[in-house]
Each structure stands twice: as C-alpha cells, then as structure tokens.
Amino acid sequence: MLYIAADHAGYPLKEELKRYLIAQEYEVEDLGNTELEPDDDYPDFAVMMAKKIKETADAGGILICGTGQGMCMVANRFSGIRAAFVYNEFTARDAAEHLNANIICLGGRTTDAETAKKLLRIWLDTEFSGEERHVRRLEKIEKFSE
C-alpha cells in the first residue's frame, strides 16, 4: 500500500504521481488534499500520513509540499516514521538502502514531474541493505523518539 498526500504547493505533482503509480498497478490511497486549496496547511497532511503508516504494515508514503522539507519535519516527529527528503537519485537510493525510509518527501515547487517519477521509481525499487551499521543507527534514532 502506498499513501500519497500534498498541500496546495504539492497538489499538481501529487495528482501526476498518483496517476503514474496507478498506471504501474500500485495500490494507492490519496490522503488529500482532494482539490487545490490555497489555504490548507502541510502539517495536517503529514500528521495524517504518519498515523496511516504507523497503523498499516508494510506501507509506504509520499508527501509533497513546496520544498518537501516541511512535510519531512512534521512526519519525523512520530516514532516509527522514517521520512526522507528526496531531491536527486542519490538521496532516493540512500533513503531506501541506508535509511529504510517509509515515507519520502518531495518538493512540488522544486521537482518536476519526470524527475519525481524517476526518484519515486528508485525509492520503490531499492531494498534496505539491512547492514548492521544501518540497523544500529536506525535503532539509535528510534530510542530518541517519544
């Protein structure tokens, strides 16, 4: 299961990525916004996403705001959430391989649709390495979560 959500700044990219994922036969649930709403707030969508990821085994999420950074900051306030701000091929691969990210965050104002599709594809196709050093680091991060 993949969840996707965006505020007004990420709405057009969300709609494009949602169509792309459905065409690739992924199960996608859109958490909003369901229309372009200039007064919406990115924290609302990030909180909703974090809660869904926590309650759904093996789920992944895509959050999109203006830069991706706001969504990432909010999502990472939840234990068990490993949200990664992704902006190039290296960060997309690293998010999966080293960070075992269960959410990626993209910038709707900074990432064009074709690049976003490429980054999404890399993240989805890359397995977590499971190397001891990465597991150890993720365990340390989780100890600091409330």
User: What digits encode the pLDDT tens for the residues 98-113?
Assistant: 999 999 999 999 999 9
Which residues are the active-site residues? 65, 98
Average pLDDT over residues 33-62: 96
For residues 37-46, average pLDDT = 96
User: How much is the pTM?
Assistant: 0.96
- Domains held by the chain: number: 1
Residues 17 and 145: their CA atoms lie apart, in Å, by 30
CATH number of the structural domain spanning residue 66: 3.40.1400.10
Query: Domain range for residue 37?
Result: 2-143
* Percent of the chain surpassing pLDDT 90: 95
The pLDDT score that the predictor gives to residue 146 is 55
Whether the per-residue pLDDT at 40 is higher than 90: the answer is yes
Contact 64, 5 (CB under 8 A): yes
